[in-house]
Amino acid sequence: MIHRWMMGLAMALPLMAQAWDFTSGGFYYDIVNDYEVAVAPAWDGMESVYEGVQLIPEQVYCDGANYTVAAIADGAFSQSRVTQVQIPNTVTRIGAEAFAGCDQLTSVTLPLYLQEVSPRMLAGTAIANIAIPEGVTEIGEGAFHECVQLHTVYLPTSLLMVGEDAFEDCFNLFEIYCAAPEPPEVLGEKNFLAMSGIDLIVSDNHAVKAYTSSEVWGDSDTFSLWTNDDIYLDRSSLEMETLDDGWTRVRLSDNMAFSVYDHYGYLMALTAADNYFFATPEVEQQCAIAATNMIAESEDVLACNLAPAAPADEMLAEKWHPTIIAEGGAIYISGDNNGTWTSVYDGAGRLYYQHPTLDCFIDGLPTNRVYIVIVGDYVQKVRL
């Protein structure tokens, strides 16, 4: 069944083809102001250019300016072939239909400072679990409409309202952890329609009483109300793997949410995704992961030792260097750089690009200039 909102989106696709200001690192951006950009839609004909795992950066560099990635535009990834998305905490707004119709998208890590879950934001995706961060007060209309694989949802204490049709046709929804002490208002008649056997876990007996008195949440044909139990971290189910592209991946447990803490002990992510990705640091760091259900958190944690990438053979490291070529308006980098950081400066010392990378090309740079390219410890001067 093709919904009217999907038809309208499809009709608009050709208009989106060049609706961006610059591209960098595989992402397309709209400039919001002198300091901020939004990830923009980008199409090759009638198909989105985005696919596979998407690790959105916190900052991006273009034409001598350093921008914070602060938003994801309406429909930015809609109907694309993305499979996993990790969104940085610099993003505070994700637009309507940002991931709508991404039927290969299985997991998303939302930013900690997200202001709201926008209308139809993840409609029609294949996500199995989702954790909504604290501070979100509203889940927009149709946000998870027809997420037929959705199994577990984690809702924050701040949640006040669930919009119309937000969970319509989520027929595999098995459990909802809701930390809100009072039942959020549920709009419309189709939320949870014809659904049954959903475990609703709340904080305590006072919350059970409040939810039981709610017309929607207290419907015993749809929900079974439970108070929260202790939560434990199954360390054996978590696996760390250092990748070759400047990232360390932690494989997470199914149907669980996790809090990720940096080496100072500050919360850096809340996720129910299949994997969490750490950027390989320049100096050794230790982070930690705890299991959470938004109501409670495990006392046990998994320590993640993140070491900077380095060649195993120091003699080889002395002789090794990447291949760097400047032609056709882009800088091409190839060779096994072991996931080290790549930086590009112009002759005046202005930073244009910085990201852990392997084989890549860097475009969008002004031409007729000399650039200094630094890949790990290797430095080369090129002219575009």
Query: How many Å apart are CA 292 and CA 212, to the nearest integer?
Result: 24
pLDDT at 338: 53
User: What's the CATH number where 121 sits?
Assistant: 3.80.10.10
User: Are residues 288 and 325 both part of a single domain?
Assistant: no
pLDDT at 11: 40
Answer yes or no: are the C-beta atoms of 292 and 301 closer than 8 Å: no
**336 pLDDT band (50/70/90 cuts)?**
low
**3 pLDDT band (50/70/90 cuts)?**
low
Tell me the one-letter amino acid at 154: Y
Q: Which of these three, 70, 93, 127, is where a domain ends? A: 127
Helix (H, G, I), strand (E, B) or coil at 155: strand
Query: How many Å apart are CA 381 and CA 146, to the nearest integer?
Result: 52
Supply 124's token pair: 């029609």
User: Are residues 10 and 122 both part of a single domain?
Assistant: yes
C-alpha angle 17-23-29 in degrees, rounded to nearest 5: 70
Helix (H, G, I), strand (E, B) or coil at 330: strand
**8 pLDDT band (50/70/90 cuts)?**
very low
Length of the chain in terms of residues written: 384
User: Are residues 366 and 257 both part of a single domain?
Assistant: no
Bridging pattern class, strands 161-162 and 36-39: unpaired
Tell me the one-letter amino acid at 164: E
pLDDT at 350: 78
User: What's the CATH number where 346 sits?
Assistant: 2.60.40
pTM score above 0.85: no
User: Are residues 1 and 123 both part of a single domain?
Assistant: yes
Domains identified in the chain, total number: 3
Query: Is 362 inside a domain boundary?
Result: yes
User: Are residues 279 and 370 both part of a single domain?
Assistant: no
pLDDT digits (tens, 9 = 90+) for 82-135: 999 999 999 999 999 999 999 999 999 999 999 999 999 999 999 999 999 999
Query: Is 372 inside a domain boundary?
Result: yes
314, pLDDT greater than 90: no
Q: Which of these three, 248, 275, 306, is where a domain ends? A: 306
Residue range of the domain that includes 74: 1-127
pLDDT at 312: 47
Query: Is 142 inside a domain boundary?
Result: no
User: Are residues 17 and 116 both part of a single domain?
Assistant: yes
Query: Is 171 inside a domain boundary?
Result: no
pLDDT at 296: 95
User: Are residues 323 and 279 both part of a single domain?
Assistant: no
Query: Is 50 inside a domain boundary?
Result: yes
